[in-house]
Structure 1
Amino acid sequence: MKQQILNHLAEHQKAFDHLRSHMVGQIEAVADLMVGQLSKGHKILVMGNGGSAADAQHFAAELIGRFLAERRALPAIALTTDSSILTAVGNDYGFDQIFSRQVAALANPGDLVVGISTSGNSPNVLEALKIAAAGGVTTLGLVGRDGGKIAAVCDHVLCIPALYTPAIQEAHIAIIHILCDLIEKKMFGTGA
């Protein structure tokens, strides 16, 4: 068991070493993008499946509630939470459409649609990002491995080039926390 723990920590460390050595500038650029859009009254829509759905909900909660600073609520929607929409669209149109129908209804130019996928190939996330792009909405892929099909359709991509899914997920939540911290500091001051 100790070796399993050490193996997990080694994979985690590789992902975080990549974050530290290759992605700082990319994360800062995405934070600036988000600050610009939120400052103009636009919203962030976030989606993913499984653990990435939980990350989407976590991200929206940090923006609407707070990360570390007391400040006004910021507009964010996790497209993973309305069971009536998910089951109705899934039943009537298919699971691949559960996010794209929401993006078509809710996203406007100036908003940001964020798709989270550890493989970079989740069909329902990919379809929603295509709909966003076709509607002139800015897109961000928070992905893993080689970025998959999602990386090819997004305006911005933050990719963890690991094969070990738990390490990708751990890096994704770290990126989300960093983005929330930077958004608060940039929008509400260094004391935030």
Structure 2
Amino acid sequence: MQEHIRQLFSENIQTMIASGESLAEPLENAAFVMVNSLINGGKIICCGEGSTAALANHMSALLLDQFETERPCLPAFALQPHHAGLNYNPQRDSDYLARQIKALGQTDDVLFVISLTTAEPSLIKAVEAALTNDMKIIALTVDNSGELSGLLNQQDVELKVPPHRRARIFECYTFLIHSLCELTDMTLFPQ
């Protein structure tokens, strides 16, 4: 069992190293997109599907409250998951995130979308709605160039994690979220 435990750590480290090589510049760009939005009165709207919805909530909570240092609250929120509505029907209502973006999203806002497959219909429709609202998009994705990736344009930032087991991807996404919060704090509130 201890050998398996060491292998788990090794997998995590390998995923992080591979991601660090390819994501330094996109991570910096994503931080600038967030900072510019916040400076211009925008907000960060976070969303995910399934397990990544929890990461979206985590991201918005870190921005609203604080990451590691005391600072003013930053305008951010996570979109409500599909089960929040009484009349939710998965065959009919894959646009539940898009409807929230249409109602709440504005031009200076950023949609922070977290996808494990880049093929989730609700996330694709959310990105389409954000593009219609002239919002910028930061997407955490797996490097497999799915439909969601194809919707992004030059003003948007995609943070592509190398494909590994879902647990390693989730761990890397959490690290990227923490890094973005730290970079945002460091830029807006230098010590």
Q: CA deviation at 1:135?
A: 2.0
| 1:28 match | 28
User: Alignment length, in residue pairs?
Assistant: 188
| 2:166 match | 165
Report the 3-state secondary structure (helix = DSSP H, G, I; strand = E; otherwise coil) of the residue aligned with 2:111: strand
Q: CA deviation at 1:82?
A: 8.2
Change (3 A) 1:150 1:136: same
Change (3 A) 1:95 1:4: farther
Q: CA deviation at 1:172?
A: 0.5
**CA offsets, 1:32-57, max 9 Å, x none?**
11001111110011111222111000
Q: Percent identity?
A: 27
- Structure 2-normalised TM-score? 0.90
Change (3 A) 1:93 1:157: same
| 1:54 match | 54
Gaps of at least 5 residues in structure 1 are none
* RMSD of aligned alpha carbons: 1.9
**AA in 2 matched with 1:7:** Q
| 2:125 match | 127
Change (3 A) 1:186 1:94: same
Moved over 4 A (4+): none
Answering whether residue 186 of structure 2 is matched by residue 185 of structure 1, we say yes
Gaps of at least 5 residues in structure 2 are none
Change (3 A) 1:87 1:56: farther
2:159 and 2:104 map into 1 onto residues whose CA distance is 24
**CA offsets, 1:112-144, max 9 Å, x none?**
011101112111011110111122111121111
**AA in 2 matched with 1:186:** T
- Structure 1-normalised TM-score? 0.90
| 1:19 match | 19
| 1:94 match | 92
Contact in 1 for aligned 2:19/2:162 (Cα 8 Å): no
1:147 and 1:64 map into 2 onto residues whose CA distance is 31
